[in-house]
């Protein structure tokens, strides 16, 4: 279990994480979501003792990470798939990690097989693709057979088969009673993987909820296709939200399919399609975090100084 209480992190005048209170429980896959700059990576680094909180606490099974007697046996983490010496082979990289943590050498071969790298264990990490590096990082996280797992964007660089494998892996780990926290920007995949969600916005926790509950809170819509461009104006006139999609269809919010059909019949408009559409996790997330995006489309561009973004921009 991971518990944060009043967890806060400042970098100078920048407040990166602002008073987080949450619990990541065993037996479920918890998705960690938020726009860029929301504070997800900083929070994960504080869980692992890589960054020190400015105030508040975060513990693993009731203990600070720095106080764990055998960290790799308690927590496995993948934060940066490229954080491997490029000259070491996959097996040598895992072997020195194992020996430094009193893990038997046989476990190296077990995790190489588990992540699908057994056939390339002799190759140097520097020539690995991003997807292969992700698999090596996951192998390192699993070395100590830990009860807590943290993965930051683990599906980056993976093909569809690899993404399916990651989904099965993390769900299987949670089913064994482990605590699993996964950060990702691939929301359709997160909808298939996670049971529970923590959503950050500008360093604050803005949702701590089940996937189904967040989707249910999203705005349902009606997809309409018709040849009468004036029909959109009529829908706006009765208070509906109207957005034209790239394929020329209209996405209507604020009205049910029956109400849209009734309005079309009243005005004699023939509809080629009238389809109710449930909100997706992606739509619900975008609606929830609309005010938390660091650089919204149409917003101001940060001043550039000597070819770089001006000082004071949080990362």
Residue 287 lies in a domain: no
Residue where the block lists tokens 């209209």: 250
**What pLDDT sits at residue 246?**
85
Residue 99 resides in a domain: yes
Residue 255: predicted pLDDT: 87
d(CA 239, CA 220) in angstroms, rounded, equals 15
Question: Domain check: are 157 and 197 in the same one?
Answer: yes
Q: How high is the pLDDT of residue 302?
A: 41
Looking at the structure, do residues 188 and 267 belong to the same domain, yes or no? no
300 is a domain residue:
no
249 and 209 co-located in one domain: no
Query: What average pLDDT values come out for the chain (315 residues) when binned by 10 residues?
Result: 97 95 97 92 96 97 94 94 92 95 95 95 93 94 97 89 92 97 91 94 93 80 88 90 87 88 92 86 82 58 37 38
In a shared domain, residues 124 and 248: no
**Structure-token pair, residue 169:** 């892996």
- What is the model's pLDDT at position 20? 97
Q: Residue 84 maps to which CATH number?
A: 3.40.50.300
Which one, of 309, 280, 120, lies nearest residue 211 by Cα?
A: 280
pLDDT at 311: 36
SS3 227: coil
Which residue in 79, 49, 38 sits closest to 315, CA to CA?
38
The total number of structural domains in the chain stands at: 2
Are 119 and 235 members of one domain?
no
Q: Both tokens of residue 276? A: 């109710």
| 42 assigned to some structural domain | yes
Residue 53 maps to a domain: yes
CA dihedral 245, 248, 249, 251 (to 10 degrees): 30
Q: Which domain holds residue 253?
A: 221-277
Among residues 216, 238, 267, the one where a domain terminates is: 216
- Same domain, yes or no: 241 and 125: no
Note the pLDDT of residue 299: 46
Q: Are residues 135 and 30 in the same domain?
A: yes
Provide the token pair at 12: 């100078």
Do 257 and 234 belong together in one domain? yes
Q: Please identify, among 216, 240, 262, the residue that sits at the C-terminal boundary of a domain.
A: 216
Residues 161 and 270 in one domain: no
Element (H, E) at 213: helix 211-216
Residues 177 and 258 in one domain: no
In a domain, 282, yes or no: no
Cα–Cα distance, 27 to 172 (Å, whole number): 10
**Contacts of 250-256 spanning 24+ positions with Cβ under 8 A:** 250/223, 250/224, 250/225, 250/226, 251/221, 251/222, 251/223, 251/224, 251/277, 252/221, 252/222, 252/223, 252/224, 253/219, 253/220, 253/221, 253/222, 255/222, 256/222
Q: Are residues 269 and 170 in the same domain?
A: no
Paired tokens of 205: 């926790």
Answer yes or no: do 74 and 161 share one domain. Answer: yes
């Amino acid at each position: 279990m991971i518990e944060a209480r009043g967890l806060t992190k400042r970098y100078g005048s920048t407040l990166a994480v602002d008073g987080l209170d949450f619990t990541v429980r065993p037996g479920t896959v918890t998705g960690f979501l938020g726009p860029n700059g929301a504070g997800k990576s900083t929070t994960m680094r504080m869980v692992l003792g890589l960054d020190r909180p400015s105030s508040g606490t975060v513990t693993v099974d009731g203990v600070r990470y720095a106080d764990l007697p055998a960290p790799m046996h308690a927590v496995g983490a993948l934060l940066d798939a490229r954080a491997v010496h490029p000259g070491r082979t996959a097996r040598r990289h895992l072997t020195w990690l194992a020996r430094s943590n009193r893990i038997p050498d046989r476990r190296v071969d077990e995790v190489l097989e588990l992540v699908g790298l057994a056939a390339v264990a002799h190759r140097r990490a520097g020539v690995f693709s991003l997807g292969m590096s992700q698999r090596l990082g996951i192998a390192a996280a699993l070395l100590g057979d830990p009860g807590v797992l943290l993965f930051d964007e683990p599906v980056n660089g993976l093909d569809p088969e690899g993404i399916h494998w990651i989904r099965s892996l993390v769900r299987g780990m949670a089913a064994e009673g482990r605590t699993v926290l996964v950060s990702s920007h691939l929301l359709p995949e997160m909808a298939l993987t996670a049971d529970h969600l923590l959503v950050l916005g500008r360093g604050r926790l803005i949702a701590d909820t089940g996937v189904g509950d967040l989707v249910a809170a999203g705005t349902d819509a009606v997809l309409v296709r018709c040849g009468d461009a004036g029909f959109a104006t009529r829908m706006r006139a009765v208070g509906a939200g109207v957005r034209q999609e790239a394929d020329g269809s209209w996405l209507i919010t604020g009205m049910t399919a029956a109400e849209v059909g009734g309005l079309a019949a009243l005005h004699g408009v023939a509809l080629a399609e009238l389809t109710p559409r449930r909100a997706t996790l992606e739509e619900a997330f975008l609606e929830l975090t609309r005010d938390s995006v660091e650089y919204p489309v149409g917003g101001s561009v940060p001043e550039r100084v000597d070819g770089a973004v001006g000082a004071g921009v949080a990362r």
